[in-house]
Amino acid sequence: MSAKTPKNLAVFVSGTGSNFEAMLKEHIPIKLVVADRPCKAIDRAKEVGIPTALIERKNFGTSFDRGLYTQKILEVLQTHGIDLVAMAGFMTILGDSLFTTYDGYILNTHPSLLPLFKGDHAVKDALEARAKETGCTIHIATADLDDGPILAQRSVPILPNDSIETLHERIKIEERKLYPEVLKNILVGNLVLPQTVV
Ligand code: GRF
């Protein structure tokens, strides 16, 4: 099967949604916004009239049923005919079934120059490692956290007086330029993703 250009994008959010806002500003066509909790980003999606799905995660403990939660997400995506997912600060790790069904068509932005500083504390870890620079990475998300093929990166210097907040904000300035650019290229067929939707 040859690669096809995806058309129906869903953006996954949990928080502020400044990356989502940057996509809106760049007129990225977004068919659905999915959130795992009430948040500013989903309120903003409603405000601009984009369909939303709040699939609320109530359990943050060890008994969280990741498989069932992922199944609910898959059902919503399929109801809306989604063929491309962009994670933008989504804070729940999803189960394998999502990555199998949408193999190669789930994107993520991560606040480091992957493969350096994977995980939740990427900005803090870069500061603590006394790195001279860090940055952001747009990559294909796989079942292995922050590990899929890299599509684009931008580096950002680490300044002597940086705090986690100042450094993260400087990284996010780059993410907000790079993520919409990558999405635009995928949606017009200039950037062909490596795999097809099953
Ligand atoms: C971004 O820095 C992204 O890399 C990380 O979460 C942050 C989301 O920020 N995964 P926002 O909600 O888009 O402002």
Query: Would you state the torsion angle of the CA atoms of residues 14, 15, 18, 24, taken in this order, to the nearest 10 degrees?
Result: 50
For residue 95, CA distances in Å to 64, 101, 115, 141 come to 11, 11, 21, 12
Q: Is residue 24 part of a domain?
A: yes
* Beta bridge partner(s), residue 53: 34
Query: Is residue 146 in some structural domain?
Result: no
Q: Whose CA is nearest to atom 10 of ligand 1?
A: 89
> Band of the pLDDT at 114, cuts 50, 70, 90?
very high
Nearest atom in ligand 1 to 13's CA: 12
Which residue range forms the structural domain that includes residue 50? 9-103
pLDDT higher than threshold 80 for residue 111:
yes
Residue of the nearest CA to atom 1 in ligand 1? 89
What is this structure's pTM?
Answer: 0.95
Q: Is residue 21 part of a domain?
A: yes
Does 54 reside within a domain? yes
Atom 8 (ligand 1): residue with closest C-alpha? 89
User: How many domains does one find in the chain?
Assistant: 1
> Would 33 be classed as within a structural domain?
yes
Average pLDDT over residues 31-39: 98
Quote the ligand 1 centre to 83 CA distance (angstroms).
22
Known catalytic residues are 110
Point out which residues pair with 157 in neighbouring strands.
133
The answer, yes or no, to whether residue 101 has pLDDT greater than 50, is: yes
The domain that holds 31 is classified in CATH as: 3.40.50.170
Q: Which residues surround ligand 1 with Cβ inside 6 Å?
A: 15-20, 88-89, 109-111, 172, 175
- Mean of the pLDDT values across residues 28-47? 98
Asked, for residue 4, whether it belongs to a domain, the answer is no
User: Which atom of ligand 1 approaches the CA of 136 most closely?
Assistant: 4
Average pLDDT over residues 119-147: 97
Orientation of helix 40-47 relative to helix 18-25, angle to 10°: 20
Rounded to whole angstroms, the Cα distance separating 164 from 147 reads 23
Is residue 81 one of the residues assigned to a domain? Answer: yes
Residue 194 is assigned to a structural domain of this protein? no
